[in-house]
């Protein structure tokens, strides 16, 4: 039997990292077992579903490398099939027409709320055999006085008394199918063998198991992942807009870093922290998924992002940098030296890109207020001496630049820091940078002197 998993997001918002983790686990489980990973867009909520959110889901998944097998399934295209299933259950007396009005149900909810009890539909029309010429919904006849058993691959065996479940709606009064029915129908159509999703779907799973049974179908295996929580213990959701995959991409996070972080957010393999894609596929198993909610840690994600940034090879660095700056006109040897220098000394990708920007800039660079202060605090005679002595260097190398600056410091009873700091401030506009000797070498003599004269 071919293992088939699926990721089934609703296009009502940007792809959230919680959804991305669910997609990742489904992808890895399928690939580990030489199976198929499918994508279904659950777009039956006409008011909230937007094509721009569907496009975001596609782009974000491709950016993360979570490529799906076969064509995308749109749930809205299967509505007629879903309706036919509801009618089938109705004709087989496994479902019934419920004529309760919205007002009646709302009144029952209020009564339950006042009594501080959870609301559950009272099955008023369950055994009614007549017909009325008025709107109705179709509800499932839950098999009463029985139990439904879920053998979950993460949670273990979970049992529920069917009497605790209400006769849920499978077809609305406007003849549109509900989520509960559509999911079961489409999982069957897609031949899904394994459903891996958040444990907030646990109650839904029992209802769906009952539907599978009433329809005479073998259900898929289920695995429920504990949700991701914030540091304060609250559940993350689409409302946490800053936790969308798109915004992490815009914040200069690498897809490999985000994937690695999401993989470890609730799953582990010994003490191993970093995984290549091939290792993740090879080692992933559901037994490694914890039962407790995982806490999202931005600092940890930043650490992992820097780990992957530092591992980028020259080709990858060139690709990253060319997405922001035109670098094709520069000599390969110069670019290689420049990119590797700033990769080694940068504390973040944004820091790296800012460094590349001021190094390649042909315009006047912007000098920060702190950098201006450094220049102001340096005596005019030292600033003049720096320009004069650097101008006299014949062979413009980092070694010769270092020797010259050390000589200035020694002859004026100053520390090298007191000489390097105003130079750094003038040529980079910052108070921190990679080795100032290397920075000046890469900038070139002409550009260096031009920036020094302008700033000093």
The 3-class secondary structure across 359-400, one letter per residue, is HHCCCCCCCCHHHHHHHHCCCHHHHHHHHHHHHCCCCCCHHH
Find out whether 123 and 169 touch, Cβ atoms under 8 Å.
no
Q: Under CATH, to which class is 361-456 assigned? A: mainly alpha
Record the tokens describing residue 356, joined without a space: 């590349």
The answer to whether the beta carbons of residues 266 and 21 sit under 8 Å apart is: yes
Q: What angle is formed at CA 309 by the lines to CA 303 and CA 311, rounded to 5 degrees?
A: 110
153 assigned to active site: no
Of 32, 97, 238, 295, catalytic: 238
Q: Three-state secondary structure along the chain?
A: CCCEEEECCCCCCCCEHHHHHHHHHHHHHHHHCCCEEEEEECCCCCCCCCHHHHHHHHHHHHHHCCCCCCCCEEHHHHHHHHHHHHHHHHHCCCEEEECCCHHHHHHHHHHHHHCCCCCCCCCCCCCCCCCCCCCCEEEECCCCCCEEEEEECCCEEEEEEHHHCCCCEEECCCCCECHHHHHHHHHHHCCCCEEEEEHHHHHHHHHHHHHHHHCCCCCCEEEEECCEECCCCCECCCCCHHHEHHHHHHCCCCHHHHHHHHHHCCECCCCCCCCCHHHHHHHCCHHHECCCCEECCHHHHHHHHHHHHHCCCHHHHHHHHHCCCCCCCCCHHHHHHHHHHHHHHCCCHHHHHHHHHHHHCCCCCCCCHHHHHHHHCCCHHHHHHHHHHHHCCCCCCHHHHHHHHHHHHHHCCCCHHHHHHHHHHHHHCCCCCCCHHHHHHHHCHHHHHHHHHHHC
Its sign, for the CA torsion 192, 195, 201, 206, is positive
Q: Is the pTM of this model over 0.75?
A: yes
Q: Where along the chain do its domains lie?
A: 312-357, 361-456
Look at residue 233 in the predicted model and tell me its pLDDT. 73
The whole-angstrom separation of Cα 242 and Cα 248 is 8
Q: Could you tell me which of 170, 214, 189 has the C-alpha nearest to residue 78?
A: 189
* Torsion on CA atoms 8, 13, 14, 18, rounded to nearest 10: -60
Q: What pLDDT shows up at residue 363?
A: 85
Per-residue pLDDT of the chain (456 residues; tens, 9 = 90+): 899 999 999 999 999 999 999 999 999 999 999 999 999 999 988 888 899 999 999 999 999 999 999 999 999 999 999 999 999 999 999 999 999 999 999 999 999 899 888 888 999 999 998 889 999 999 999 999 999 999 999 999 999 999 999 999 999 999 999 999 999 999 999 999 999 999 999 999 999 999 999 999 999 999 999 999 887 777 776 554 558 999 999 999 999 999 999 999 999 999 999 999 999 999 999 999 999 999 999 999 999 999 999 999 999 999 999 999 999 999 999 999 999 999 999 989 999 999 999 999 988 899 999 999 999 999 999 999 999 999 999 999 999 999 999 999 999 999 999 999 999 999 999 999 999 999 999 999 999 999 999 999
- What phi and psi, each to the nearest 5 degrees, are found at residue 413? 55, 45
């Amino acid at each position: 039997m071919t293992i088939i998993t699926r990721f089934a997001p609703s296009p009502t918002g940007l792809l959230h990292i919680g959804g991305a983790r669910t997609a990742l686990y489904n992808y890895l489980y399928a690939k580990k077992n030489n199976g198929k990973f499918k994508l279904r867009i659950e777009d039956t909520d006409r008011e909230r579903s937007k094509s721009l959110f569907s496009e975001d889901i596609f782009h974000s998944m491709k950016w993360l490398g979570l490529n799906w097998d076969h064509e995308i399934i749109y749930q809205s295209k299967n509505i007629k099939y879903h309706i036919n299933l509801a009618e089938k259950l109705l004709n087989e007396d496994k479902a019934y027409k419920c004529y309760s009005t919205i007002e009646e149900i709302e009144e029952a909810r209020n009564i339950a709320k006042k009594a501080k009890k959870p609301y559950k539909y009272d099955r008023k029309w369950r055994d009614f055999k007549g017909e009325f010429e008025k709107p109705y919904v179709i509800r499932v006849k839950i098999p009463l006085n029985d139990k439904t058993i879920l053998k979950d691959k993460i949670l273990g065996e979970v049992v529920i008394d069917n009497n605790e479940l209400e006769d849920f709606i499978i077809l609305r009064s406007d003849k549109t199918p509900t989520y509960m029915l559509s999911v079961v129908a489409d999982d069957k159509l897609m031949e899904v063998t394994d459903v891996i999703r958040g444990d907030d779907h646990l109650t839904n799973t029992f209802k769906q198991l009952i539907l599978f049974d009433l329809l005479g179908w073998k259900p898929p295996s289920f695995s429920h992942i504990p949700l991701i929580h914030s540091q304060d213990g609250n559940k993350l959701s689409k409302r946490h807009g800053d936790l969308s995959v798109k915004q992490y991409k815009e914040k200069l996070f690498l897809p490999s870093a985000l994937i690695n972080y999401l993989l470890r957010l609730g799953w582990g393999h010994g003490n191993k922290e970093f995984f290549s894609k091939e290792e993740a596929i090879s080692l992933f198993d559901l037994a490694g998924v914890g039962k407790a909610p995982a806490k999202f840690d931005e600092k940890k994600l930043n650490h992992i992002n820097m780990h992957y940034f530092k591992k980028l090879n020259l080709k990858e660095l060139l690709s990253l940098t060319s997405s922001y700056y035109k670098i094709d006109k520069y000599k390969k040897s110069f670019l290689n030296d420049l990119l590797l220098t700033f990769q080694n000394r940068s504390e973040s990708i944004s820091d790296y890109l800012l460094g590349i920007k001021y190094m390649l800039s042909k315009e006047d660079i912007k000098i920060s207020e702190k950098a201006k202060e450094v220049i102001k605090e340096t005596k005019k005679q030292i600033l003049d001496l720096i320009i004069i002595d650097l101008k006299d260097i014949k062979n413009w190398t980092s070694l010769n630049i270092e020797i010259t600056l050390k000589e200035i410091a020694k002859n004026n009873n100053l520390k090298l820091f007191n000489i390097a700091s105003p130079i750094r401030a003038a040529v980079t506009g910052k108070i921190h940078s990679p080795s100032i000797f290397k920075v000046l070498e890469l900038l070139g003599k002409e550009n260096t002197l031009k920036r020094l004269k302008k700033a000093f």
